Structures are given as structure tokens and as C-alpha cells.
Amino acid sequence: MGDDGSAGHAGPSAPQRDLPPTPRGVRTRAALVAAARVVFERDGYLDTRLADITGQAHCATGTFYTYFANKEEVFAAILDEAKQDMLHPGVGRVADSDDPYDVLEASNRAYLTAYRRNAKLMGLMEQVAHIDPEFRRFRTERAETFIARNARGIADLQKRGIVDPDVDPMTASRALSGMVSRLAYAVFVSGEVDGDGREYDLDELVFTVTRLWANALRFPDRG
Amino acid sequence: MGDDGSAGHAGPSAPQRDLPPTPRGVRTRAALVAAARVVFERDGYLDTRLADITGQAHCATGTFYTYFANKEEVFAAILDEAKQDMLHPGVGRVADSDDPYDVLEASNRAYLTAYRRNAKLMGLMEQVAHIDPEFRRFRTERAETFIARNARGIADLQKRGIVDPDVDPMTASRALSGMVSRLAYAVFVSGEVDGDGREYDLDELVFTVTRLWANALRFPDRG
Amino acid sequence: MGDDGSAGHAGPSAPQRDLPPTPRGVRTRAALVAAARVVFERDGYLDTRLADITGQAHCATGTFYTYFANKEEVFAAILDEAKQDMLHPGVGRVADSDDPYDVLEASNRAYLTAYRRNAKLMGLMEQVAHIDPEFRRFRTERAETFIARNARGIADLQKRGIVDPDVDPMTASRALSGMVSRLAYAVFVSGEVDGDGREYDLDELVFTVTRLWANALRFPDRG
Amino acid sequence: MGDDGSAGHAGPSAPQRDLPPTPRGVRTRAALVAAARVVFERDGYLDTRLADITGQAHCATGTFYTYFANKEEVFAAILDEAKQDMLHPGVGRVADSDDPYDVLEASNRAYLTAYRRNAKLMGLMEQVAHIDPEFRRFRTERAETFIARNARGIADLQKRGIVDPDVDPMTASRALSGMVSRLAYAVFVSGEVDGDGREYDLDELVFTVTRLWANALRFPDRG
DNA sequence: GATGAATGAGGATTCATTCAT
DNA sequence: CATGAATGAATCCTCATTCAT
């Protein structure tokens, strides 16, 4: 569940081939990646056969190998395509205000929105991370980047005397970042519902998550 | 990661066969379950072949089918064996005091201790939940039970005017319970370390987690 | 072609599995080896599909893998079975007389007889040696053993003043041993015929080969 | 192995296409043949992919088929190119003297020199002959031509009362010609070494081979 | 002529499951 | 009950060859 994170360089050790030189090649490769995403999201990583992907992409089995060496490699390509969108949420980036609470809320909203938009892929990512060590590392690195960034934010607020100085920033960040990504997974991937059996509302999620996070660090009351 | 929970009845749809009648049968079955746990924890669920299990149990391939129908079923048996230990942590059970903070801390300590003790199995559980829908359901149910219980506790504290009345108890419980299980997974299964590269200390974890949880709900300052 | 040699330990690096414990297993394995020999000799090494072998052995594809890891391994098993017969010819072993010429002739006769008896297999061996380095090494080692042995024989005769002291024993042995194996290959495998289009007669071959060899080393005239 | 021979007309059944009309075509074809030789000699016939050849020739896969129908055909082209050099050694051509021993020695020297010069290709030829019947025939024909020529030489010497009249000229030629080609293969392709672990010296080889051959036929002592 | 993407038949291999002994 | 050999469906992957551009 949840990746806790952002940051983004290349995909997992995929040799990252050059794009095919001809327009036809570009088209075919794109068709394969798109098809793979459809099939992966529909059948899950394990139950996806390469033949299903080429079938969905309307091309021959062999064509797959013109562009990818195996299942992992297409998956990495999908991740690569989605990276821009998935990594978008940056703490405070979107906030208009300088108020720490507003910054936090904006950050959480951005994160949850992006998560919801890519929910199927995030679920897939989670699944794959539990299957392929390559992607586990990939996921962990991204999560750690995010955690570290939030830890720096917390330490900064501590230094400024704004929040609880008694918690270890790194541990707190790990716990709270995890809380958010975990919740996102539960709500958007597992489809868990609230106490009354209703689907979660995004605003509600953002509010609760931000409130808990702020409380946990003892943000001062506003106003 | 993390299961968010406790509770525990039977295993996933395993037909829950009667124990074998003869003592030899009992022995063989036990050997298979023990062997399966060893192999699963060593090789992971997917990479485990039934032949590896029978090999480790020093019995013939065919013997496996005398006791189990397939891999899922042995895995369910393992879970069944471990249930007692894994589900042990009950909120407040260990607490001597009635102070909500003490109860919370005792509960968290119990949970984290049990998690650490069964770390490999919890990691396995997590992996399997991402592979087999049967176990996903199993895990979800247990987590939801725990979340619901904690939600009731939160609602109760709200009613008594002790904690923040503004958060939805169910959402808060989901978030905070998830925070703890998530952290447990990161630390005990993934082996993540703190900001200084040191392994996490159990007391430190209990302290931080409890403090964040209490803060999040705005537990009153003590004495 | 020809292998120039004898000597014999295990087969090429084949892990040399234990024989299957049950009689049924023994039977099946033997059937596979026999089938493999038939198919290899009929279709050649490269054109043999594992399915052809299991087909000929009347068993399922999977059964093959109970006993062998791949084509090389069955081939090694075939070689192993034939080794006793193929390595039989030992210099002087069969000779009644101590006369060097008689010893030489007996040795050549033994070699050529064994070669003819296993002609198809020798052809196969030759083919495989040109394809698989593993078997190339195997063949080379056997040949070198034979060459070295003959070189010692030549050196001995030189010391005793019986044969031409001017040739290097090792080089001469390599040349003459090769001459015999090469001829055996041409006649028994390639099916080359004599000047009048007639198949070679064994006695004729033995005579010529022995005579050339003896002359080449300047064996003394008899009587 | 060795080919026992010389002689040389066309290549194996290659339809022997006309040379390409345009200069660009000539260049491309030549590049392909050169590339093929490099790759074949490096990777062996079987492990060479047509893509490797076109890659080495810096041209597209499809281009290959403008000039050749398949792997065999390029290989035939390579052979064709090398023929001049490989078939060069003619009995007595280089000899100044009319003495049979000198003629023989000159012939052997020429043969071994040419063999050494084309060692890699000869090894390749040997390999291919064991794989493709087409080339097996090609090789055999060349060898037989050489053997027949030498047989005529032997018969002539017999008629002139110079050498042993008791051996069949054809069989003796087959044996002795094979001896030389076999030795050439062992030394120049397999890289076998002499008794002291030293590489063979060409003069030494020529001397031994000639001496054995002469002795085998009972050439008269000189002087 | 050259290009290189697309094709798809073909073969090796795995492993859960069965069943005769 | 235990045994372990036999089964064969299911997939992955290779690469010679074609052909539209």
C-alpha cells in the first residue's frame, strides 16, 4: 500500500532503450505500453501473459520483443510514462499561503488527488513491489525520498518552535507519511468505505488526514 | 504492509479438514506445515514449489495431497497455527492503569511486539494478500475488525469529552491504525532504519507511535 | 574425424545423477536413453527435438526432465552406456605374440572393429564435438590419452633400437593415431569406398593401416 | 579433421548469383561477406545470427536478402572468396627438384602453410560440414580429389618400382592424406601441442609428416 | 537498393496434480 | 498412509524471413 513518496529518476534497472527511430516503431511501442497497462490493470501483474498484451495491442508475439525483454520491462515503461503524473505532489508547492497548516493541507490534497487519479496503477505497483525485488527497491527509494523530505519539514518546524520537539522527525515522518499513503491505498485501491458504508469523500479525507497530522505534531491552534 | 489488525476466527475458505486420525498422520501433517513455513519464509510464496515443501518435510510429493489441496491450503494452515500469537495484542489487556494514554501505549507495545515476533510471517502474509484474493479478504477482514474496535474506542473518548470531537472516528481509526501497522511493516519487515542509519529501538517506536496517536486525537496533557 | 582414443572416466560435466530408485524409474530412464540413441542416429543431434525422443520412448514430454536436464545430458548418458564398448581396444591387449608388428596389428584390428560396431555413434560424437564445447573437450581428452599411450609405445621401441629414432614420438603418434581414426571415420561413417568403388574390407583396412604405420616407423622386416 | 584436399570449382549448390550491377551493390555485398567471415569465425556457424552479420556490416537486416538467400549462401560466398588461397597447394608445384622426396616435402609444406594461413576458416569449414550436408558434400569432393591425385602419384611410384608395391594406392592415399589434414587440424585449429607442451613448429611438422609418409611407402634411402 | 519493423511458427521448460504400487 | 514417477497444459522466447516505406 502506498508508496509514501515522490521523487523520480529513471525506472528500475531497465536498460532504458532508445526510442525506436521510425514513426511506425514509436506507434507500435506506444500501443504495446498502452495495451500492457490495460491488461495489467484488468488481470493483475501475475495473471498477465505477454500474449494477452500483444493481443490487446493487435500485434504478433514477436513484436513485443522488439521493444521489451520481458514483463518487467514493459511494466517499467508504464511506470515511466506515469511518473510525471504520479510524482507531481510536492509539499507546499501548490500552497498559496505560508501558513504551515495550509501548506500541509495543500500537500496532502495534491498527493491524494494524484493517488486517486492513478489508483489502479498504484495498486498494481504495490502488487508488483511484493513480487519483484527490482520494483520493491524502486518503490522503497521513492518512498524514502518523500519521507526524508517530510522529515526535513518537520525538523524545520521544530527548530522554529512551532511543533512538538519531543518526537524524532524521521520516525514521525515515516509514521505520518505512511499513514497518508496507507489510507490512500485503503480508500482508492481497496475501496474501503467509511463507518456508514459510504465511499470516502476527497475533502473529508484531506481534512481528516491533515488534521491528524497537524495534531500529531501539535501544530498551534490557528487564529 | 501491515494488517491493521487483530481478531481471528478460521482461516480463509480452507475447508478446514479434520485432523488426521492416526498419530502418524498427525506427525506428517505437522512436518508439512513446519516445512512449508520454513520454505515460504525463505523463498517467498511465489517461488515456493510444492516439491520444495515435501522435500523439506522429507516426504514424497504425493503425500502433500493427503493433507492439503494446494499451496493456499498449507498457507492457511500456517496462518492458523500462528493465529494465537499474532492476534494476541488486545487493547488495554496488558494495561494496569485506566488512563487512556497508558491503555493506548500498552496496546501499541503489544501490537508491535507481536509484529516483530512474527515479522517474517507478516511479510509473507502481506505478499500473499497481494497475490491471492482469498487471503486479501482474510487480511482485510482482520484489519477492519481492528479498525472498527479502535474506532469505537475513539468514539467513546470523544463522547467522554476527552479527545478531539472534530475527526470522524472511523476515518481517524483507519488512518491511525494504518499508521501503526504500516510502520511495523517498514521497520520489522523491510528493515528500514532511522535517520541516523540505526535500527529502530522498540521503546522508541512505541513512544513515537503512541505520542503521535495521542496528539492526533488531542489527548489531554497528563497531570 | 575419429577420436584417436580410448580412456574413460565419467561423461562430460553431466552431474551424473543417481540412478532412479524404483524399477519403473530405471525402465523409463533406459527407454529414454534408447529412444534418444535411435533418434539421434536417425536425425542427427541438431535436428533432434526433445519431443521426438519422448515420442519414441512413448512417454510425456515432462518425463524427460525427470531424468535429464537437456539434450546434452541424454547424449552424455548415451555415451556413458557405450563407453565400455567404445573404449575396449587397448594396444597389445589382444595380441598373443610379443612381436611388435603383431601387437600393432591386433591393436588396429580391435580399434577398427569397435569403431565399425559403433559407427553411427562415432559419427554422432564427431558431430556433437563440433557443436558443443563440452563434448569437444571430452573427445579431445580421450584422443589425447590414446595418442599419449601410443607415443610411449613408440618411444619404447625407439629405445630398444627397433624403430626410426629420428621422428618425435609424440608428433608421430599424433599423426599415425590420427591417420587410423580418420580412416575409420571415412570408411565407416562417411562410407567412402576404395578405388574400385567397392566397400572396404576390414582385413584390407587392418593390413594397410598396420603396414603403413609399421613402415612409417621403419619397423624391421620380419623373419 | 581436415579436408584431405585441394581442387576447386564452384561452391556448394549456391545459385551463384551474378554480381550486383551497381557499384553500391558491389560494396554492400562485399561488406556482408567480410562481416559474415568475422562473425562466423568469432561466434561459430550455429551461433551466428543473420542480424549479427548485418550488424557487423552496418546495414539493415533486409539488405542481407538482396544478396543471399540464407546463411548457407553467405558461407558459400566466403568459401568462394577464400578458395584461391586455400586450394593453392599443388603437388610438386613448388618443388625445384624431381626427387620424389623433395616433391613430397614441398607439397606437404605448401599444404600446411595454406592450412595455417586459413586455420579459422578451415575450422569453420569442418564445423559446417558436420552440420550441413551440402557442405559435407563439398568438403568430401575436395578431399576425394586430393586423395585421388595422391593415389595416382603413389601408383606411379609403384609402377616405377620406387615404393612399396604391396599397399593399395587408394587406401594408402586415403590414409596418408588424412593423416596430414588431420594433423593440420589438430595443430592449427585445436591448438594441440607437442609432448613438451610447446606449440608445433612448422618445419618440424613438415619434416615429421614427410618422413612418415615416405617411410610408410618405403621411399628408398636417399643418396 | 536500403531500411527495419512485423511476423509467427517452433521448441524448451516448468510444475501442479494424479495414481498405480 | 506413503511413495514418487508420469503427465501435459501452459508460457516464454528466438530468429529467419517478409514487405511496406
| Residues A79-109 pLDDT 10s | 988 887 776 554 444 456 788 899 999 999 9
- Band of the pLDDT at C193, cuts 50, 70, 90? confident
Identify the pLDDT of residue B75.
Answer: 96
> Rg of chain A's alpha carbons, rounded to an integer?
20
Strand E footprint nucleotides (protein C-beta < 7 Å): 1-20
Q: Is the pLDDT of residue A134 over 50?
A: yes
Mean pLDDT over B109-120 rounds to 92
pLDDT tops 50 at residue A8: no
Q: Say which of B46, B140, B167 has its CB closest to residue A131.
A: B46
**Nearest chain A Cα to B130, which residue?**
A127
How confident is the model at residue B157, as a pLDDT? 94
Chain F bases under 7 Å from protein CB?
Answer: 1-20
pLDDT at A1: 42
Average pLDDT of chain C is 87
Tell me how crowded residue C118 is: count the other CB atoms within 10 A of its CB: 17
A207 vs C89, higher pLDDT: A207
Q: Closest nucleotide to C48's CA, by C1' atom? A: E11
Residues A95 and A199 in one domain: yes
B19-38 pLDDT, tens digit per residue, is: 667 888 899 999 999 999 99
pLDDT, residue A47, reads 95
Q: Is residue B209 part of a domain?
A: yes
CB of C28 lies under 7 Å from some atom of strand F:
yes
Q: Which residue range forms the structural domain that includes residue B102?
A: 85-216
Q: Which amino acid is at A78?
A: I
- pLDDT-derived band at B84 (thresholds 50, 70, 90) equals confident
pLDDT for position B2: 41
Same domain, D112 and D196: yes
Selecting from C166, C182, C195 the residue whose C-beta is nearest the C-beta of D170 gives: C195
B residues 131..170 contacting A (CB < 8 A)? 131, 140, 144, 151, 164, 166-170
Residue B10 scores a pLDDT above 50: no
Same domain for B132 and B203?
yes
DSSP secondary structure, C139-204, as one string: HHHHHHHHHHHHHHHHHHHHHTT-S-TTS-HHHHHHHHHHHHHHHHIIIIIS----TTSPPPPHHH
**pLDDT at residue A7 in the model:** 33
Provide the CB-side half-sphere exposure for B83 (13 A, CA).
Answer: 16
Residue A24, CB, strand E, below 7 Å: yes
Question: Which residue of chain C comes nearest to D169, CA vs CA?
Answer: C195
pLDDT tens digit string along B117-160?
Answer: 999 999 999 999 999 998 998 889 888 888 888 999 999 999 99
- Asked if the Cβ–Cβ distance from C215 to D164 is below 8 Å, we say yes
* Helix, strand, coil share (%) of chain B residues, nearest 5: 65, 0, 35
Q: d(Cα A137, Cα A146) in Å, to the nearest integer?
A: 14
Residue C7 pLDDT = 34
What pLDDT is attached to residue C83?
81
d(CA C175, CA D2): 12
- Which residue did the predictor score with more confidence, A18 or D172? D172
What is the H or E stretch that residue C212 is in?
A: helix C202-216
Residue A36: give its domain's CATH number: 1.10.10.60
Grade residue D91 by pLDDT with cuts at 50, 70 and 90. Answer: very low
Q: What does the pLDDT look like over D137-193, one tens digit per residue?
A: 889 988 888 899 899 999 999 999 999 998 899 999 999 999 999 999 999 999 998
Q: Hey, are the CB atoms on A208 and B182 less than 8 Å from each other?
A: no
Helix (H, G, I), strand (E, B) or coil at C1: coil
Residue-level pLDDT at D222? 67
Is the per-residue pLDDT at A58 higher than 60?
A: yes
The confidence score (pLDDT) of residue B1 equals 41
Cα(D146)–Cα(D110) distance, rounded to whole angstroms?
13
Q: Which of B174, B194, B212 sits opposite A183 (nearest CB)?
A: B174
What's the confidence (pLDDT) of residue C153?
92
In a domain, A210, yes or no: yes
D77-86 pLDDT, tens digit each: 999 988 877 7
What number of helices (H) and strands (E) belong to chain A? Answer: 9, 0
What mean pLDDT comes out for the span D3-9? 41
Separation in Å, CA of D90 to nearest CA in chain C? 21
Q: Are D122 and D185 in contact (CB under 8 A)?
A: yes
**From CA A187, how far away is CA A205, in angstroms rounded?**
9
Average pLDDT for C75-98: 72
Contacts of D14 (CB under 8 A, 6+ apart): D72, D73, D76, D77, D80
**A143 and A203 inside one domain:** yes
The residue that minimises its CA distance to C1' of E7 is: A60
Number of domains in chain A: 2
Give dist(CA A106, CA A96) in Å, integer. Answer: 9
CA distance C181 to C2: 4
B49 lies in the same domain as B133: no
Residue of chain D whose Cα is closest to the Cα of C44 = D131
Whether the per-residue pLDDT at D92 is higher than 60: the answer is no
* CB atoms closer than 10 angstroms to residue C181: 24
Task: Specify the nucleotide whose C1' lies closest to residue C71 (CA).
Answer: E12
Q: Note the CA–C1' distance, C58 to F8, in angstroms.
A: 13
Note the pLDDT tens digit of each residue in A165-203.
988 899 999 999 999 999 999 999 998 887 788 888 999
Reported confidence tier of residue D21, pLDDT bands at 50, 70, 90 = confident
Choose the weakest-confidence range: A81-85, B25-29, C40-44, C186-190: A81-85
A209 with A167, same domain: the answer is: yes
Distance between CA atoms of residues B108 and B111, nearest Å: 5
Say if the Cβ atoms of D127 and C130 lie within 8 Å: yes
Residue B48 lies in a domain: yes
Statement to judge: residues D135 and D174 lie in one domain: yes
In a domain, B18, yes or no: no
Same-domain pairing of D162 and D56? no
pLDDT at B82: 85
Lowest average pLDDT, out of B191-205, C41-55, C116-130, goes to B191-205
The mean-pLDDT minimum among B117-121, C116-120, C186-190, D143-147 falls in: D143-147
pLDDT tens digit sequence for A107-133: 999 999 999 999 999 999 999 999 999
**In the listed set D68, D83, D98, which residue is the last one of a domain according to the structure?**
D83
Residue with CA nearest E6 C1'? Answer: A63
Cell for B18? 479434520
Residues of A in contact with B180 (CB under 8 A): 175
**Residue D120 contacts C, CB cutoff 8 Å:** no
Question: Could you give the C-alpha distances from A158 to A168, A221, B208, in angstroms and in order?
Answer: 10, 16, 15
Whether the CB of C46 is less than 7 Å away from nucleic strand E comes out as no
Nearest Cα to Cα of residue D92 among D152, D47, D137, D134: D152
Average pLDDT across chain D, whole number:
87
| B156 within domain boundaries | yes
Residue A62 CA, nucleotide F14 C1', distance (Å): 9
Instruction: Residue B219: list chain A partners with CB under 8 A.
Output: none
Residue C116, pLDDT > 60, answer yes
Are D145 and D97 contained in the same domain? yes
Which CATH number characterizes residue D127's domain?
1.10.357.10
Using CA coordinates, name the residue in chain C closest to D213.
C216
Mean pLDDT of C132-142: 90
Cell of A24: 511506425
pLDDT for B174 equals: 92
- Pair A128, A170 in one domain: yes
User: Straight-line distance from CA C20 to C1' F8, in Å?
Assistant: 22
How many Cβ atoms from other residues are within 10 Å of residue A201's Cβ? 11
Buried b / exposed e across D23-36, counting CB within 10 Å, b at 16+? eeeeebbbbbbebb
**Residue A22 CA to nucleotide E3 C1', Å?**
10
pLDDT value at C194 more than 50: yes
In chain C, residues with a C-beta closer than 8 Å to the C-beta of D218 are 215
A120 and A208 part of one domain: yes
Span D28-55, pLDDT tens digits = 999 999 999 999 999 999 999 999 999 9
In chain B, % of residues over pLDDT 90: 61
The DSSP code for B198 is: P
Of D130, D131, D179, the CB nearest to C175: D179
Residue C188: pLDDT band (50, 70, 90) is very high
What chains are in contact with A, requiring at least 3 Cβ pairs below 8 Å?
Answer: B
Nearest beta carbon to residue B212 from set A140, A176, A208: A176
B55 touches strand F (CB under 7 A): no
**Final residue in a domain of this structure, among B83, B100, B125:** B83
What average pLDDT does chain B have?
86
Q: Give the model's confidence band at A209: pLDDT under 50 very low, under 70 low, under 90 confident, else very high.
A: very high
**Is the same domain home to B146 and B59?**
no
Note whether residue D221 is domain-resident.
no
Among D83, D99, D130, residue at a domain's last position: D83
Does pLDDT of C96 surpass 70?
Answer: no
Greatest mean pLDDT range, B7-21, B90-104, C33-47: C33-47
What pTM was computed for the model?
0.87
- Residue C36, domain member (yes or no): no
Query: Per the domain annotation, does D30 fall within a domain?
Result: yes
